[in-house]
Structure 1
Amino acid sequence: MKIKTENYKFFQNKDCEYFPCHKIDDIEKFNCLFCYCPLYALGEKCGGNFKYTESGIKNCTYCNLPHIKEIGYQHIQGKISEILKKVKKD
């Protein structure tokens, strides 16, 4: 009997010169899978902890949402349809 795993939901690159790129309590649960967050393009609808700079640039420095092992993957998958709507050719 094959054991079902979900390893595709988690990846860590401890050799990265920026690892970890955000402060997190448990470094063993830091997920690098979405190094560049695909939800950035959703602006205020991404669901993460971001701020806009004075010049209007979205700053995700304090957002750990995509990097949280237990919820990041599920959250992003739940928002993918919104991303697809933004980029769909009419």
Structure 2
Amino acid sequence: MSQTEHSHAFFSNRDCKYFPCHKNANPEQFNCLFCYCPLYALGRNCGGNFKFTEKGIKDCSDCLLPHSAGGYKYVTGKFKDIVEQVKKNEAQAD
């Protein structure tokens, strides 16, 4: 498939003052589509390269999964898991 056919799955914001926002990222292949990763809500089950800070905050600064060539497919493939996590959170809140 051509680049145009996949234009919905890749976006680089080279004008962003943080571009690329992850160290060791290849600017030529860096996808900004998921600037905020929707997988963050999955916690330990996101599948990315993360760690927790001493204060328990999820630190994704070493993760390039959503910014990689296969990131769009991976993230959209996890939407069902995100919906299930939201349902679980809502049930606990009731």
**What TM-score do the two structures reach when normalised by structure 2?**
0.84
- 1:49 aligned partner: 49
Query: Residues of 1 paired with 2:39 and 2:25: CA distance?
Result: 23
CA distance 1:19–1:25, change in 2 (3 Å): closer
Query: Residues of 2 paired with 1:38 and 1:13: CA distance?
Result: 18
**What TM-score do the two structures reach when normalised by structure 1?**
0.88
Query: Residues of 1 paired with 2:79 and 2:23: CA distance?
Result: 25
Equivalent residues of 1:24, 1:64 under 8 A apart: no
Equivalent residues of 2:40, 2:46 under 8 A apart: yes
Query: Residues of 2 paired with 1:24 and 1:7: CA distance?
Result: 24
Equivalent residues of 1:24, 1:30 under 8 A apart: no
Shift of 1:51: 0.2
Alignment RMSD, CA only? 1.7
Structure 2: runs of 5+ lacking an equivalent: none
Instruction: Specify which structure has the higher proportion of helix.
Output: 2
Query: Residues of 1 paired with 2:25 and 2:64: CA distance?
Result: 11
Q: Deviations over 1:22-73 (max 9, x none)?
A: 12453111000000000000000000000001111100010011111x2110
